[in-house]
Amino acid sequence: MKEKEVKVDCEEQQVVLFAEKDDNTYGPVQTGSYITRNYLEDFQLKQQHLEDNLLKKLIAGEISPLYFYMTLEDISISELAKRAGIRKSKAKKHLDPVHFIKATVSELKRYAGVFNIPLANLFQVIHTTQDGNWKSHFRETENGSMHGIEQHSTTNPVIVITTTTDKS
Amino acid sequence: MNAIHYNHKMAAHCETGTVAALLNHSGLNITEPMVFGIAGGIFFGYFKTAQFTFPTFIVRSKPGQIRKNIEKLMGVKIGSSRFKDPILAEAELDKLLEQGIPVAVQVDFFYMDYLPAWQRVHINVHFVTIIGKNGDKYMLSDIYYPKVVEIDKETLRKGRFAGGSMAPKGFMFYIESIPPIVDYEKAIRKGIRKAVFNMLKIPMPFLGVKGIEMFSRKVTDWPKYARDEEHLSHEIMKINVLLEDQGTGGAGFRFMFATFLRQASEILKDDKLFEMSKRMMAIGDGWREISLHAARIGKKRELGPEKLKELSDMIMNRAKAEKDFFTDLKKLV
């Protein structure tokens, strides 16, 4: 591949590709990501649809919060169970809302840890907007100032403080 | 604590780029493709296991092998440790930093919060280099990011101690010493033999060239594993990401391997390797076409049997080309 053929203008994601230079040598070329440049919107649209569909099912009680986050994060049940240190058969049951409510606080804390969210967010949906689209899950690590919402963990492992700021 | 004077620059892949940068820092002038080639990094594997939500493939050798092979084949001494206790892991890291030693750590990519959210996925085998500490923040060089960044101590700890498959367990490594003379000829030939073995000789139907053939046969079955059309589109477009964006240097490491062969031909003064580098670059061009094709049909939702068959045929052509290539390459070493 020639250097000019791999060149993509994309500041959001830079990558290094190897290509044939003008002097016929092969070497690294820092450039933009082709897929991010051309298809990021499509990816985000699909993620939004997935999130909307999952949220409907979550609210209707068809899936558990665990299923919601696991599918959004694209983690398999085997991987989730391993990361949480919970038996796969048990974790599989927790995907069903009927069994999810029987999970212990300790188990739920471990699941929340895998998704890097406060425990409280397994029991609530915080609606935020991003680029005009509703987002139904709010991450502790996201930039609170954009939404006017911030979540801070506390010394108490089950308590998170959620603050809102009037952006007007 | 001040940061170690460290030449941060972007590279193609986290393990090869990190190892090359650490070697450069220690005074050994070596390129990323040379690290990749000597370590026999080129590979292919097709997987459909419970670990993944969807069938997938890999285009490089097992994480950690690059470092191990470089140590073995070049005589570089690399210090490494794993930990059960995060506090101890942090203390050991701090101790090395105080001695002015940059330290590579294995992390879950998900926690690298300086990258945009859409880029971050749960992969436990990302490598970054820690080059300093400022209070509760570490200074970090990630070859996927254009500049040195700071990361919270707590966030780094989460990344270093994420659970799951190939859990990092606080793994870290650093260069202890480099040999006064490196026998590049021997190392290059061994690396090429390793690459040939990886691609042609492993007796598993899902690895090496046989893995590419399996990928070609199985990709037409992918619709039955998808939730809906958008999910299938996402997975097909991920072919592009896996081949181009996930630190491969383009075309699933084939461009990087071509560059290695080109540099090897210069060191060994071997015209045949020079020709092989051109052939590998052309093979890479074919993989790049597959990437672009997958992205286009995914975006247009043209995911019927005909388009998938087209994709399958393109992949099978790569299998044939690589079988011929590695058979010929074997004759040269």
Q: Are residues A97 and A140 in the same domain?
A: no
Domain shared by A124 and A168, yes or no: yes
Range A107-132 burial, b when 16+ CB lie within 10 A, else e: bbbbbbbbbbbbbbbbeeebebeeee
Choose the final residue of a domain: A74, A100, A115: A115
Nearest by CB to residue A73, choosing from B32, B122, B163, is: B122
A155 close contact with B: CB closer than 8 A: no
Which domain covers residue A158, as residue numbers? 119-168
Nearest CA in chain B to A88: B50
In a domain, A88, yes or no: yes
ipTM summary value = 0.95
Q: Does A8 touch chain B (CB under 8 A)?
A: no
Same structural domain, A126 and A98? no
Q: How far is CA B257 from CA B65, B105, B240, B260, in A?
A: 16, 25, 18, 5
> Do residues A138 and A103 share a domain?
no
The nearest CA of chain B is from the CA of A36 a distance in Å of 9
* Residue A165 β-bridge partners: none
A18–B116: do the CB atoms touch at under 8 Å? no
End-to-end CA distance of chain B: 49
Asked whether residue A124 falls in the same domain as residue A164, the answer is yes
- Decide: B35 and B264 in contact? Cβ < 8 Å: no
Q: Looking at the 3D structure of chain A, how many domains does it have?
A: 3
- Taking CB atoms and an 8 Å cutoff, what residues of chain B touch A52? none
A124 and A97 in a common domain: no
Taking CB atoms and an 8 Å limit, are A36 and B245 in contact across chains?
yes
Confidence of residue A106 (pLDDT cuts 50, 70, 90): very high
Got the DSSP string for B138-202?
Answer: EEEE-TTSSS-EEEEHHHHHHHHT--STT--TT-EEEEEE--SS--HHHHHHHHHHHHHIIIII-
From first to last of its 333 residues, chain B has per-residue pLDDT tens of 568 999 999 999 999 999 999 999 999 999 999 999 999 999 999 999 999 999 999 999 999 999 999 999 999 999 999 999 999 999 999 999 999 999 999 999 999 999 988 889 999 999 999 999 999 999 999 999 999 999 999 999 999 999 999 999 999 999 999 999 999 999 999 999 999 999 999 999 999 999 999 999 999 999 999 999 999 999 999 999 999 999 999 999 999 999 999 999 999 999 999 999 999 999 999 999 999 999 999 999 999 999 999 999 999 999 999 999 999 999 999
**For an interface test with A, which of B30, B60, B235, B244 has the most A Cβ atoms less than 10 Å from its Cβ?**
B244
Residue where a domain stops, chosen among A115, A143, A159: A115
Cβ contact B159:B108 at 8 Å: yes
**Is A48 part of a structural domain of the chain?**
no
Using alpha carbons, list the distances in angstroms from residue B190 to A156, B182, B317, B332: 55, 13, 27, 12
What span, in angstroms and rounded, lies between the C-alpha atoms of A34 and B203? 35
Residue A41: inside a domain? no
Beta bridge partners of B140: B130, B149
State the DSSP string of B249-298.
Answer: SSTTTHHHHHHHHHHHHHHHT-HHHHHHHHHHHHHHHHHHHHHHHHHHHH
Which amino acid type is present at position B105?
V
A-chain residues within 8 Å CB-CB of B162?
A: 83
Q: Any idea what DSSP says for residue B244?
A: I
Record the pTM: 0.94
Q: If DSSP codes are grouped into helix, strand and coil, which group holds residue B206?
A: coil
The answer to whether position A51 is within a domain reads no
A134 - beta bridge partners?
A: A129
DSSP label of A103? S
